[in-house]
Amino acid sequence: MSTSAEGNAPAWQAEIAALQATLAAAIAAADDAAALRQIEVDALGKKGSVTALMKRVGALPPDERRAYGAAAGQARGAVSAALAARSDALAQARLQAELDDRSFDETLVGSSTRRGAVHPLSLVRRDIEDVFSSMGFHVLDYPEVDSEFSNFEALNIPSWHPARDMQDTFWLDAGHLLRTHTSAGQVRTMHRLGGEPFRAIFPGRVFRYESTDASHEHTFHQVEGLMIDRAPAAGGPGVSVGHLLDAMRTLLSAIFGEAVQVRLRPGYFPFVEPGFELDIACRNCGGAGCSVCKQSGWLELLPCGLVHPNVLRMGGLDPDQWQGWAFGLGLSRLVMMRYGIGDIRLMLSGDARFCEPFVAGC
Ligand code: DAH
């Protein structure tokens, strides 16, 4: 490097200006990010042409070093500013090209997205939970795998009892089983909440070792209800069949959205005394008689009754001091009635089309 022969301008000044001009042209010509990046490496990288300029300062006569350093530094700044500006311009151009793309038609109708649906079992269960919560009931949950004790013995169904044959059971190891009914939660609830009057429902899945057809499934849903209060002899209001009927009427009118006519027939269950079958006026014919109700005008809906003294005892409650009523609602059956579903096996089929009509319930 030497000073220029003619004039005062040192030769390196023209050299820096030339390099800067070459780079400026290259930057202006680069039409994508990769090309820009390459120019940046070639100019400003460790072995880059601009970096090399900076390194040469030591080779100059001392009186030129300051001016040279300033010029080289200025060139470096100018190149990196040009790189940044070009990069912005390219990004801007890309965006503009996307906006200008006339193949995008914002007036086209969009493709519809499918909304999820709530299973009708969940819809009706929620309704039932809402009604009972508003009447002061706890909503409880119990295990599906339970003991022989909770499912049978505690409910006044000892091993020799013929009622066991009515509920064919999936037996597991060591006295465990898949609960055959939500009644298995009754004695658990007395132990949990007993000592004070209480009301509770416990919805859940139950299992029966049965062959299946349009009205039988090995897995279905029930909602158990239990209300316990002090007997009149213990200074309490007592619990009567009248209370039970009242609660059932409230429940059913909430479910069906209108007053529902009900009747009680005697029914036998070892854990209630007296026990009943509660029927509702046929939803199909209004009670006149049709094929759905086999011309009787009534549909069997839920069994219920006053809690048997032996069951109260199993729950740690003295039957002289405490009384209760209970019901076991076939939730699956109720859902089928409410929505006119003809085959119980559809309920747990997992076929998404089954739920589609219930999207509005989200
Ligand atoms: N657990 C009985 C069943 O599944 C139904 C039942 C009957 C429940 C009478 C009750 C009741 O709470 O009082 O067949």
Q: Kindly state whether residues 231 and 154 are assigned to the same domain.
A: yes
Q: Kindly state whether residues 308 and 197 are assigned to the same domain.
A: yes
Three-state DSSP state, 221: strand
Give residue 235's pLDDT: 94
Residue of the CA atom closest to atom 7 of ligand 1: 303
Task: Give the distance (Å) from ligand 1 centre to CA of residue 327.
Answer: 6
Ligand 1 binding residues, C-beta < 6 A: 181, 183, 224, 269, 272, 275, 303-305, 326-328
Residue of the CA atom closest to atom 6 of ligand 1: 328
Indicate whether 236 belongs to any domain.
yes
Residues of the chain where predicted confidence (pLDDT) is lower than 70 = 1-8, 360-362
Of ligand 1's atoms, which has the minimum distance to the CA of residue 167? 14
- pLDDT tens-digit readout, 138-178: 999 999 999 999 999 999 998 888 878 777 899 998 889 99
Residue of the CA atom closest to atom 4 of ligand 1: 181
- pLDDT tens-digit readout, 78-116: 999 999 999 999 999 999 988 888 787 778 888 877 778
| Pocket mutation for ligand 1, best pick of 151, 188, 271, 308 (most atoms within 8 Å of C-beta) | 271
Instruction: Round the CA-based radius of gyration of the chain to a whole number and report it.
Output: 42
Task: Give the distance (Å) from ligand 1 centre to CA of residue 290.
Answer: 27
| Pocket mutation for ligand 1, best pick of 156, 161, 181, 332 (most atoms within 8 Å of C-beta) | 181
The count of domains in the chain is: 2
How far apart, in Å, are the Cα atoms of 275 and each of 252, 269, 327?
Answer: 19, 6, 9
Task: Give the distance (Å) from ligand 1 centre to CA of residue 320.
Answer: 23
Indicate whether 87 belongs to any domain.
yes
Task: Give the distance (Å) from ligand 1 centre to CA of residue 296.
Answer: 23
Of 267, 271, 266, which is closest to residue 161 (Cα–Cα)?
A: 271
Give residue 293's pLDDT: 84
Q: Record the pTM.
A: 0.69
Give residue 360's pLDDT: 55
Give residue 6's pLDDT: 47
* Domain of 42, in residue numbers: 11-98
Q: Which backbone phi and psi does 237 adopt, to 5 degrees?
A: -80, -15
Single residue among 63, 98, 133 that ends a domain in this structure: 98
DSSP class of 109: P
DSSP string of 232-269?
A: GGGTS----HHHHHHHHHHHHHHHHSS---EEEEE---
Give residue 308's pLDDT: 98
Task: Give the distance (Å) from ligand 1 centre to CA of residue 165.
Answer: 15
Indicate whether 1 belongs to any domain.
no
CATH number of the domain within which 323 lies: 3.30.930.10
Q: Kindly state whether residues 27 and 150 are assigned to the same domain.
A: no
